[in-house]
Amino acid sequence: MKDRYCVIMCGGIGSRFWPFSRTYRPKQFLDFFGTGRSLLQSTYDRFSRIISPENIFISTNEMYVDLVKEQLPEVADERILAEPQRRNTAPCIAWAAYHIQALNPNANIVVTPADHLILKEDSFAECIDKGMKFVEKYPALLTLGVKPNRPETGYGYIQIEDDNNEDIKTVKTFTEKPNIELARVFVESGEFFWNSGIFIWNVQTVIKAMQRHLPEIVNRCEANKEVFNTPKEKEFVNENYMACPNISIDFGLMEKASNVFVLCAEFGWADLGTWGSVYEFSAKDRNGNVGAKGKQLRYDCNNNVIAVPENKLVVLQGLNDCIVVESDNVLLICQKKEEQRIRKFITDAKVNFGDDFI
């Protein structure tokens, strides 16, 4: 257990959950299901049961450090890696890898977003344990693949090489968010799994892979290894982070490396990236409505997801298949099938009315 580490990534702004998710308090810090725990807290709870809490690190943006401390007071300051700018997942994972390497050169690391829903906690813990044992033994970059139960267009897909009868397979291809026709082909073929965005690797394996495929990110880290886990580390990061390309770990590393494997699993997973995903996994009334937040009266309404402040009453009549969300100074009403336009709504709101509504 002493060689097992976890990095929870929670630096994003969660724009697809606007206006409930705002720049100053994005979705990972919100409690979507009324459990009393935010998505970040729930992720920390999940991993602290299977990895020593002192080996769990939080990667976030500098502007969210106070929120992390507020929600996870048990996490020491030295285990919060605060990015000076947003540069996507590859730079933040590289920083975490070099930081943890300085602590333990034998570390095996699971990297996870903070905004996932896991319904089968025991099965998930078994998958993490199996994945950790695999990367302890083999120099592999491992990702968790989830067996799809529908042709979902909002997830990336992993095609497997059916080269053995084990749960861990060689990756053949990655495909980002396909159209509905292609997603149907993927599901029917049985060769494709959803890309969960959860990764497991030994720290030496991932650093070696990044040296080959992401030299523009790690060359500076490699040349300055002595600063990590010292008082000079943050100064080095602040001076060099903006020079890193804005690139995801999927595109920058996983799609290019040859030692990539997938652990095929089923543990009740969902990426809570959209209001549609909240609708899917929330309890519904007999007319298919999800009353996520606030006091509500609904008449002749079907298949809506509704979230308003707890002190507000919303009365709806004759509304079908819509998202109704109010937060602070913004009220959003749009069709569920059009929620991909929320990012355009945000841009237009910023252009026309300024940052106060973002």
For 330-354, give the DSSP string.
EEEEEEGGGGGGHHHHHHHHHHHH-
Q: Which token pair is 101?
A: 């390497």
Residue 144, beta-bridge partner list: 263
Q: The domain containing residue 19 runs over which residues?
A: 4-271
Q: Could you say which DSSP state residue 312 is in?
A: -
- The tens digit of pLDDT for each residue in 233-243 reads 999 999 999 99
Question: Torsion-angle region of residue 268: left (phi > 0), alpha (psi -120 to 50) or beta?
Answer: left
Please name the residue that has the structure tokens 């606007």: 18
Residues 101 and 243 in one domain: yes
Which amino acid does the sequence have at 37?
Answer: R
Same domain, 326 and 192: no
Query: Do 159 and 297 share a domain, yes or no?
Result: no
Domain shared by 129 and 152, yes or no: yes
Of 227, 247, 271, the residue at which a domain comes to its end is 271
Which pLDDT does position 164 carry in this prediction? 67
User: Residue 165: what pLDDT?
Assistant: 63
Same domain, 243 and 304: no
Q: How far apart are CA 229 and CA 232, in angstroms?
A: 8
Amino acid identity of residue 138, one-letter, is: Y
Whether residue 295 lies inside any domain: the answer is: yes
pLDDT tens readout for residues 302-332: 999 998 988 899 999 999 999 999 988 999 9
Mention every residue, 6+ apart, whose C-beta is less than 8 A from residue 292.
32, 33, 278, 282, 305, 306, 307
Q: Tokens in use for 203?
A: 């720290």
Q: Count up the domains in the chain and report the number.
A: 2
d(CA 331, CA 352): 16
Query: Using CA of residue 250, residue 255, residue 261, residue 267, what is the dihedral sign?
Result: positive
CB 183 within 8 A of CB 212: no
Tokens standing for residue 37: 């725990």
CA-nearest of 350, 287, 294, 352 to 319 is 287
Is residue 288 domain-resident?
yes
Residue 238 lies in a domain: yes
Residues 179 and 292 in one domain: no
What residue type is assigned to position 241 of the chain?
A: Y
Domain with residue 85: its CATH number is 3.90.550.10
| Coil, helix or strand at residue 288 | coil
Distances (CA, A) of 70 to 64, 84, 192, 224: 10, 20, 40, 32
**For residue 52, is it within any domain?**
yes
Q: Within a domain: residue 293?
A: yes
If one counts every other C-beta atom within 10 angstroms of the C-beta of residue 74, the result is 11
Verify that 315 and 169 share a domain, yes or no.
no
Tell me if 242 is assigned to some domain.
yes
Structure tokens at 275: 């209001």
Same domain assignment for residues 134 and 163:
yes
> What pLDDT is recorded for position 163?
65
* Residues 260 and 191 grouped into a single domain: yes
Task: Say yes or no: 72 and 111 in one domain.
Answer: yes
Weakly modelled stretches of the chain, pLDDT under 50 = none
Q: Which of 271, 298, 315 is the C-terminal boundary of a domain?
A: 271
Whether 85 and 128 share a structural domain = yes
Name the domain boundary from 271, 297, 325: 271
Q: Are residues 305 and 329 in the same domain?
A: yes
Residue listed under structure tokens 């009740």: 268
Supply the pLDDT for residue 155. 85
278, part of any domain: no
Q: Which residues pair with 8 in a beta bridge?
A: 58, 112
Residue type, 210: M
| Spatial contact of 155 and 174, defined as CB atoms under 8 Å apart | no
pLDDT of residue 35: 84
